[in-house]
Structure 1
Amino acid sequence: MFHEIFSSDNRIIGQGFNEGISRLYNEYARCVRAVGCKIFYNHLTNQEWTEFQKLKEFKIIHLMRRNRLRTLVSLAIAFKTDIWLQRNLRKKVPVDRKKVHLEPENLVAQIMQIQNWESQTRGRFADHDMLEIYYEDLVDDFDSIALKAINFVGAKQWNSNRIAYRKQNPEPLHQLISNFDEVRGALKNTPWERYLE
């Protein structure tokens, strides 16, 4: 499993797409049943997405979050703390260090952008094998959801003990958002008010 080979950390967006794809086609040991990578919605240009769509042999696991506000909060915390993965619960970041300020006037547009990306992905890969997984389900029942994904890509075995990632921000949103009252006001009487938990 490659990580985010198309992200701006690993290339200039819009350059090196073919080289990245070719890494996935390298020869691997016979025991390797599936090869893949993680691609965020904004890792590829529209032209690159069009090229990627043509590669019908790829199976798509579309990982989404039901609570899109949590997506925005997690991203803001990752940028603030520069911690993108949580492997060791003993080194948990204190909640006061994670607290982020969200711009209330941008929230609806940002949530709608995520919804748009989700819809675009469904449309782009409508003729591919695609499995949709929600992050919340993965957290609630990791073994069952992960097994579904493993079976989907055609792998034979996996070892759940080797998965060391943990949920980084389990705290309630009112503890993670410094201007929670403003955020609540911005989402009040909208379809996304339920995200406030």
Structure 2
Amino acid sequence: MQMQNLALNLGIKKSGTDYGRFIILGRSRVGSNLLRSLLNAHSRIEAYGEIFRNREAMDWDHLNALQSDRMHQMMLHDPVSFLDEKVFRSYPVETAAVGFKIFYYHAREGSWAPVWPYLLGQTELRVIHIKRRNILKTHLSRKRAEITDSWVNTTGAPEKPVSVALDYEECLADFVRTRAWEEEADAQFADHPLLQLAYEDLARDYAGEMGRVFDFLGVAYEAVRPSIHKQSRQTLAEAITNYDELRQQFAGTPWAEFFNET
């Protein structure tokens, strides 16, 4: 990839910016890693990671991405130029779509605050809004990941079952907060090309759902396979030690459906 970038800079290899721009919008533990791995399996798509998650390092989460201290400083202090010059730069002419992940709560303060006005002003920017219908599973997944420090399974090896107790008030706050984030994002990007994608559908039928995604991005269909694997196969009742108590507490509320696994 470094040789390819050098060839692009020297004009040896044809390049351009005539490709579609996109973002993967969501929150943690809703399947964005699965989606990004499938996008990167396509020969004409470049999908970067959570580049505005960590100020201490450049989280391209992409094996072929170049990094330097100068680039890091640009990301920290001039994020709009960073996006224009380093993310949405010239690529080989065969590249059809380029994008990155950003979560609702990323780039909200300080020098990164201009990121959101920039994205909202890019009216041709395609937005893949990935959600998880069952927010309880999102909350559980995050809690388990924090305990195990295992955020993604790249080997396919079975992971040790982990059961946790969940606090009612924490669950409720996360349900309300996540739904508010989702609704606000849909409203903000209503004038953009916007694709709604559910993790449950993607996990069940990634070939069919990726067909929708590729159509949305304007790229030809390719059969792709994910490079990551499902981390847990426990039921909610197995994974949550106080499952019955929680289910009773949420009975009769708008969140009761999260306890139905059928």
Same fold, TM-score > 0.5, yes or no = yes
| Residues 149-188 of structure 1 mapped to structure 2, 5 A cutoff | 149-161=213-225, 163-188=226-251
Q: Does residue 1:135 correspond to 2:199, yes or no?
A: yes
Equivalent position to 2:170, from 90, 106, 112: 106
Partner of 1:86: 153
Aligned amino acid, residue 18 of structure 1: V
Equivalent position to 1:123, from 177, 187, 203: 187
Unaligned runs of 5+ in 2: 1-46, 59-74
Please state which structure has a larger fraction of its residues in helix: 1
Partner of 2:14: none
Aligned amino acid, residue 150 of structure 2: I
| Residues 20-59 of structure 1 mapped to structure 2, 5 A cutoff | 20-22=82-84, 23-45=86-108, 47=113, 48-59=115-126
Partner of 2:49: 3
Aligned amino acid, residue 42 of structure 1: Y
In the superposition, relative to structure 1, how do residues 76 and 129 fare at CA in structure 2: closer, same or farther (>3 Å)? same
TM-score (norm 2): 0.67
Aligned residues: 193
Structure 2: distance between partners of 1:42 and 1:94: 30
Shift of residue 15 of structure 1? 5.6
SS in 2 for 1:184: helix
Q: Does residue 1:60 correspond to 2:127, yes or no?
A: yes
SS in 2 for 1:148: helix
Aligned-CA RMSD value? 2.3
Structure 2: distance between partners of 1:44 and 1:120: 16
Q: Percent identity?
A: 29
Aligned amino acid, residue 89 of structure 2: N
TM-score (norm 1): 0.87
For the pair shown, which has the larger CA radius of gyration, 1 or 2?
Answer: 2
In the superposition, relative to structure 1, how do residues 15 and 64 fare at CA in structure 2: closer, same or farther (>3 Å)? farther
User: Would you say the 8 A contact 1:33–1:156 is kept in 2?
Assistant: no
Unaligned runs of 5+ in 1: none
Structure 2: distance between partners of 1:14 and 1:196: 42
